[in-house]
Amino acid sequence: MEKVLASVKKVVSANQFVRINKKALSLFCQEFFINQNKLPPWDNYHHFFDGGIDTVAYLLVLDSLNFCFWPSGNNAKWEFEYNSKKTSGYNAMAIALKRAIQSKNKIIHPEYLATLSMDQLKETLGPCGNLQLMEQRVRALNDLGRLLIERYRGKPHLLVEAANNSAMTLVGLLADQLVSFQDIAIYDNQHVFFLKRAQIFVSDLFGAFNGKKWGFFDDISQLTAFADYKLPQVLRQIDILEYNKILSEKVDKKILLEPGSPEEVEIRANTIWAVELIRRELNGMGKKLMAIEIDWLLWNLGQDNKYRIKPYHRTLTCFY
């Protein structure tokens, strides 16, 4: 996505707190190429999938809630129990919504979403632990429900079809029409476009439908990495991202970074640009991968404890 890459490149060129270690990046690419890492298959255990329009609706609701899974202070982290096993984070959200659909909950119905209450959402997500930004989650689903009713006849798949198989158009439709998807920061008086959750919704459609039906996009390769808090944690652990002393201390001590602060914007911008550099280097080595595929691989690395030794940065935001 050109405007994302162009805007984050400007941030990278003016870095104060973060830098990309290109030597470490090259070493990672060489090891990556030698190991021939395979792309993970779409995760049908955690995700709902029926091959039809309910899957489109499910992914849209899931990615409307796909943010801020870390606990605040001494609060217990939020978990969801499924098949006698507790899961946390994004996978817990995916399973909670899947379980809701299987239980005939109306969580994917726009009419229900438009008037969804806090108590109803809490009941859907279960009693184990605490999720932050619950008011924003309810508001995001209310806004989504109203939009689908008013503009798309209450049918989420019509929103996807309105993009005419263009990933970029669908990202734009979400960002233009829903406040919670307007993931744009200001750095040095210039707009920086991240659009994380809008892009990840398109990517999820592509993954779930294996690039077919509602997952077919002519320009899927234009999506960038998804700037969240897990990817920079991995990239920092493998020395591709380096923070200066001030930022390192804040992140390591789990001090909150303000949304839109220079430190936070630089972490996210350098994450996207580092993945783009990895993509280019691998491409030059004959291993052609899209940025979103590299993102998937890095995110999966981040589920391994050896890539979690250094903490992730903490920013209280609905954008990731």
pLDDT (tens digit per residue) in 200-235? 999 999 999 999 999 999 999 999 999 999 999 999
CA 30 to chain centre: 26
Q: What are phi and psi of 301, to 5 degrees?
A: -60, -40
Instruction: Classify residue 316 by burial, with Cβ atoms within 10 Å: 0-12, 13-18, 19+.
Output: middle
pTM for the full model?
0.96
List of residues 6+ apart from 10 with CB closer than 8 A: 187, 188, 190, 192
Q: Please, which residues bridge with residue 192 across strands?
A: 185
Cβ contact 56:155 at 8 Å: no
Q: Catalytic residues, which ones?
A: 228
Alpha-carbon distance values, 181 to 106, 130, 173, 248 (Å): 22, 23, 10, 29
pLDDT (tens digit per residue) in 63-118? 999 999 999 988 889 999 999 899 999 999 999 999 999 999 999 999 999 999 99
What is the C-alpha separation between 122 and 138, in angstroms, rounded?
10
Extents of the domains making up the chain: 2-307
